[in-house]
Structure 1
Amino acid sequence: MTIRIFVVEDHHVMRTTLRHYLGLQDDLVVCGAASSAEQAMERLEDADPDVVLVDVSLPGRSGLDLVDDVRSRWPLPCLVLSGHGERSYVQRALDRGAAGYVLKGRPEEVPEALRRVVAGGSHVAASLRGMVTLPEA
């Protein structure tokens, strides 16, 4: 089964890098991308993803606002990808419906996290697990 990923990341180089890196996995494909929450909401339905990979820091509405919007409209899991490793960011993302949270700079964790959340589970970066309450699977 191929997992279709929609990437929401405001930095062009990071979006391009994610598309390339995830494309190296046999079972992962990036089916669309956006640089803002507003743009993502316009493009998500046509992209028909299995999961949304969302940066926390976006221009305009935040990635956490986007998680709210996506979860209220579609039954899609959202995996947050962020440079913020503080407990408050992680717990707020999980409380708002994100299925997981991974850190930028740890790319090896992203493919497995995507697989896990698409399968109905949750994933929080190993370095953050002891500081947050995981969502119910």
Structure 2
Amino acid sequence: MSIIKKKSGLLMYQKKSAEYMEKIKTTPYPDWKSLHQDLYGFILSKYILLGDVTDIYDLTELAELSVAKTIQMPKEDSKQLDGAHSCEGTTSAMNKKVLLLMALQKGLNIKFSAQNTANLTDTRLIAQEVWKLLNL
């Protein structure tokens, strides 16, 4: 695949995630389930999976699929290569999860509690927490 095609694809995902973020910031959602639809789109856009994935809500699974897509390898192969080889014991998928939560905090001007962050393992749980924080 040409670098130009990759770049335009990445820019499309970046634009889409910005659109979802703006919608989330400006829409008064009646409940976390309605927020989840747009939040899920935001997450899939950030993870370059929009249009490729549906009905996968586990954040680790999504992050691993994103890493695999990024390095253009089957997920199991990429997991094996990415398996906690750094001094800190982190993987690219773990880093993606942290960066996603940071992007949500910054973009929505919210702050996840340190105790809850580790429990945000599913896009639906993230939607519940974001909805709660936006409606304080």
Which interval holds the TM-score relative to the shorter structure? under 0.3
Greater relative CO (CA pairs within 8 A, separation 6+): 2
The alignment's TM-score, normalised by the length of structure 2, stands at 0.27
Structure of greater Rg: 2
As a proportion of its length, which structure holds more helix?
2
For normalisation by structure 1, the TM-score amounts to: 0.27
Larger relative strand fraction: 1
